[in-house]
A and B are shown apart, each in its own frame.
Chain A
């Protein structure tokens, strides 16, 4: 028999994690259920669905804090996220479709950290820091260092993701987001990009570019970020971005698309972020 626990508080949840690191941590279940028939039944389940200690979205201290248990519907509807963290709100709106958004959580997307997780390039571009907890204490981890390989992360077997902290971008930061999927809904991304670009008098001061589906994990396009610094927004920055990107990613062929397509479209998408519209 599989044990099933809905913890009453964070202390109990963390104690369970410490005691049973092999148990399944279940949030919305939208990732976990897909593979359920192909996988061994877990010895136990810690159910974090609607678990208050990791829920909610708060604004303050120059940042927005999104509980790991927040759903994509909550993210998408949040006025401050829509206004200040547009790429994340737009990503939320393109995850699966309404039913999945109502059930899928930020913690689940981050927990799986698939190369095609749609929120992840936005988290990268928006300089997200994860808050992680265990009975050993709380720690912070920049999302840019979170993924360690194909669907593997820094998360230790006794830890839980508590929240995502995102600094509010300054007034001179433009953000952008693009998902290129196999179709318009319920779609797995073939290329994804998110950008936060700091601009002064038409010149790029700094940029953070997150990309999905072009490597074995979501990545920051650091070569592009360096190449565009000091370039004039428009064709100049766009071409610099394109050239730098071409030299720095090597996407793959799979049943959904081709390496050549992914490379070309990633270039187009990233270049478009630097065009003035």
Chain B
């Protein structure tokens, strides 16, 4: 591992900060495009059916607008991702799979005219019975995907080969804890809605927009437009948040603006309205997890059996990968010799569920940390003591048989929380409004695999370039996007430290597929750990090459001086490096055994709640998160990631929800699809724990997603502590608490 050189470890101000707070940063909707028309989308109003026709209202003047349908697609009518089952536009005769599915497109010189045109195009859909529940999907109520409606399934077996062996382990257990846990869909609620613009220049399609993964869009557009890699250029504009919501969905908008720009013969821009964005784009997968733990007479876990079913919505999109992460985290960071994990993700007639921070892990984490709490209660054992006793440490094996060798922050995160927790607050009290309150404390311990699952990172082989420019400045070129999480500042710090130059000399160029190599997508907590590591190596190699060139040519001075001299004689010097997995990574996709992730982050979270007995509201009075991040390249940014993710998780726990009615989002606005405000945020006590990852840049590992995993279960555990009854479904809304009243056991 490398020693952390400055400015690594320093909280440098955000490189993009001033432009963003002064309004100078230009988001897609701000980009000048004087000739551009506005696009609008004609959508389905039924959840399931067959598109028979698109009727144009004869009273509308169609000469003033451009229209595009599936028939105008030059290549394949698919949003190419994992499986090509989702069309960009439903063709005539094709199956409509969800409400708000795109059927046709219009573009016009003004937004108002585009909306009017969209309203004047009437789809005729022959309805089919819809499927809205996991059970109906599994029962095959309608055939939505292949013959069983199952997009993907996984089976993990550890320490046994047959179900009979597993059953025997449960049969001989001293105690079995069993429960079923429900987690709700969640909207990413990025501040900037989905937005994209396209223009055709000399037969080449240029697309710019708000996105996390330029090369995902690139891949999808090659298939849709039927062109080669040079036929389409994808550039990211300043992006106002993503949280996974701009991982796969931007390919849909890109397809639409590309088709409209061709039809209108001019640039076309689509910026979703908020209601449209909430209604049509992806949400966190709702999930049902059945979880059994068998313990022996000494209180050791002897077996676990987990069955997780997620609702994938209408198309496969990223569901197999979300499910994969869900099952790989389902057994939690606990020792267990015999483990079976089954996972399925099924097709329904909801808009596709998709990527959202945590990516399947928050769903199964909720289940296992509720189970651990029930185990502690059943045994009368302290919640923290029990977890400490059973937790994975170096030398232990996970459910996939991965033996943990390094960077296991278990003891450190426990100690960090215990160091500041103090005694639990008084059980009974009175709220500011004069209502009686009941308090409780909840605790969770959890982990999150950083980077892509299994052999994903090897397959991706992410690349990044660091270049010495002839003017003595340095440039980082990568397709990783800054979506508000601070990645370009982090890249500057890593590159400057490796080059030994002032950070002011390093710039990160805007990602465009014409100018940056494919570093892989901006997902999976991998940007710092994986791509940052590649940038680090590229910068070191570049520095060595420059220094030896300087020595050879007798150039005196610092690296910038050598870069200038090199620039004069030869030109720019660029070094592109490809990701190399750490040694010892073995993964078997067929049996789901081996190193599921290169390394894990570790987290412990403590929550104190006060439940108002008049209004049933759960107030989160305190929240401590201690997270092992390996190394905080920029502590302020890392804290920001943890606090944002924590609040997102607390919101998911008590107040966020997506309400569907007949397959349509019924609360598609910011008034009713609520997320926490600052007034709802408790004072967050965040502790950065640093147990270095030997193969990450200066020891860093992933941080983006982990804070999302734990807090919801911590809240449920705390509410259980307060009211004496179990809360196994999210959200723990005041309505849910009110409904539980008969079960309360107030002590």
Contact = CB atoms under 8 A, between A and B. Distances in A.
A255 B667 contact: yes
Contacts of A264: 738
Interface string A116-129: 00000000000000
16 contacts: A37-B273, A178-B433, A180-B617, A182-B672, A183-B677, A184-B677, A184-B680, A185-B679, A185-B680, A191-B615, A255-B666, A260-B739, A261-B738, A265-B616, A268-B615, A269-B614
A151 B14 CA distance: 47
A97 B677 contact: yes
A257 interface: yes
Contacts of B735: 257-258, 260-261
Contacts of B672: 182, 188, 255-256
Most buried by A among B273, B434, B615: B615
B403 to A, nearest CB: 45
A92 to B, nearest CB: 16
Interface string A159-183: 0000000000000000000101011
Where chain B touches its partner, the secondary structure class is loop
Contacts of A187: 674
A118 to B, nearest CB: 14
Contacts of A188: 671-672
A264 B734 CA distance: 11
A272 B734 contact: no
B655 interface: yes
A131 B680 CA distance: 38
A135 B96 CA distance: 57
Task: Give the 6 A-B residue pairs with the shortest CB-CB distance, closest first.
Answer: A184-B679, A185-B679, A268-B614, A255-B667, A261-B735, A185-B677
Given A180-B617, A257-B735, 15 more contacts: A178-B433, A180-B734, A182-B655, A183-B655, A183-B674, A184-B677, A184-B679, A185-B680, A190-B734, A256-B672, A257-B734, A265-B738, A268-B615, A272-B434, A272-B435
A261 B734 contact: yes
B404 to A, nearest CB: 40
A152 interface: no
Interface in A185-213: 185-188, 190-191
Given A255-B659, A256-B672, A261-B735, A180 B615 contact: yes
- Of the four ranges (under 10, 10 to 19, 20 to 34, 35 or more), the interface on chain B belongs to 20 to 34
A277 interface: yes
B676 interface: yes
A183 B615 contact: no
Interface in B247-299: 273
A264 B736 CA distance: 13
A111 to B, nearest CB: 19
A186 B672 CA distance: 10
B679 A269 contact: no
Most buried by A among B434, B435, B614, B659: B614
Contacts of B434: 272, 275, 277
A140 B484 CA distance: 54
Given A258-B735, A261-B735, A265-B738, A183 B667 contact: no
A261 B679 contact: no
Interface in A80-132: 97
Interface string B717-747: 0000000000000000011001100000000
Given A188-B671, A258-B735, A260-B738, A272 B677 contact: no
B614 A265 contact: yes
Interface string B662-705: 00001100011010111110000000000000000000000000
Contact of B678 (A180, A185, A191): A185
Nearest to A273: B434
A256 B735 CA distance: 10
Most buried by B among A258, A268, A269: A268
Given A188-B672, A265-B614, A183 B679 contact: yes
